[in-house]
Amino acid sequence: MKVLFVQDVPGKADAGEIKEVKNGYARNYLIPNNIAVPATEVQLQRINIIKKQAEERRIKEAQDMQLIADKLNGNEITITAKVGPTGKLYGSITNRNIADNLLSLVDYPVDHRSVLIAESIQTPGSYEATIRLHRDVSAVVTVNIVGEEDEALANIQAAVSAVEEESTEEAPAASTEEESTEEAPAASTEEESTEEAPAASTEEESTEEAPAASTEEEAPEK
């Protein structure tokens, strides 16, 4: 279907342009939302009026957006996000996150599609974002990402560390048992000395043999 755009559609058409679009797109979106009208002969006679009105509207919008850009340009926003044990963010910071936080600088809801970032934000640090408020108006803001440790994860890590410390402190106790085990053989020395004790019985035997001398004392009776 051929339609005449009566409003600007960024990246698609300017007001006053005639374009061929799909029937469903025209009937379900463009025409009901007053963005375009069927390109009939009656409507085509309005092209010059539509273009003039669109140009006046663009100038007014640019002036309004410049006021917002002046408040944004060169300013900073800070976003706090949770980080994992490796220091990386859980997920990444998106242009929607940045757009939502711009409300801290201006009382204007910036469309997240207007926020342009050059790289994926996955770690804490400072980044630049370009805010395209109008085709001729943009601003640059600094986005500071501050990492916040996950409290639940921190508690788990603390518990693991505590268990490791306890196991480390208990380890020397086992060595004490090993030392006492090594000292145990010393008791065998007493057993050895006990085994040597019977040597003293030789003296007892010699004492028992002593009465043989009494034979000499009996001799004078002859």
Domain boundaries, the chain: 2-45, 71-151
What is the separation of C-alpha 80 from the centre of its chain, rounded to a whole number of angstroms?
Answer: 12
Q: Which residues of 57-89 are buried (b: 16+ CB within 10 A; e: fewer)?
A: ebeebeeebbebbeebeeeebebebebeeeeeb
pLDDT at 11 over 50: yes
3.10.430.100, 3.40.50.1360, 3.40.50.1820, 3.10.580.10: CATH of 71-151: 3.10.430.100
Q: How confident is the model at residue 16 (pLDDT cuts 50, 70, 90)?
A: very high
What per-residue confidence (pLDDT) applies to 211? 46
Mean pLDDT of the chain: 80
Whole-angstrom distance, CA of residue 103 vs CA of residue 165: 48
Please name the residue ranges forming H helices in 31-116. 41-44, 47-72, 95-101
What per-residue confidence (pLDDT) applies to 127? 97
Whole-angstrom distance, CA of residue 91 vs CA of residue 105: 25
pLDDT at 88 over 50: yes
Which carries the bigger pLDDT value, residue 91 or residue 201? 91
Whole-angstrom distance, CA of residue 174 vs CA of residue 166: 14
Angle, alpha carbons 8-9-11 (nearest 5°): 125
Place of tokens 């997240």: 112
Which carries the bigger pLDDT value, residue 204 or residue 23? 23
To 10 degrees, the CA torsion angle through 122, 124, 126, 130? Answer: 30
pTM for this entry = 0.60
Strand order in the sheet with 2-5: 18-20, 2-5, 36-38
* Residue 27 token pair: 């009937």
CATH code of 2-45, in short, is 3.40.5.10
Q: How confident is the model at residue 209 (pLDDT cuts 50, 70, 90)?
A: very low
9 three-class SS: strand
Whole-angstrom distance, CA of residue 95 vs CA of residue 141: 12
- DSSP E strands: which ranges in 66-163? 76-83, 115-117, 125-134, 137-149
Q: How confident is the model at residue 189 (pLDDT cuts 50, 70, 90)?
A: very low
Radius of gyration of the chain (CA): 50
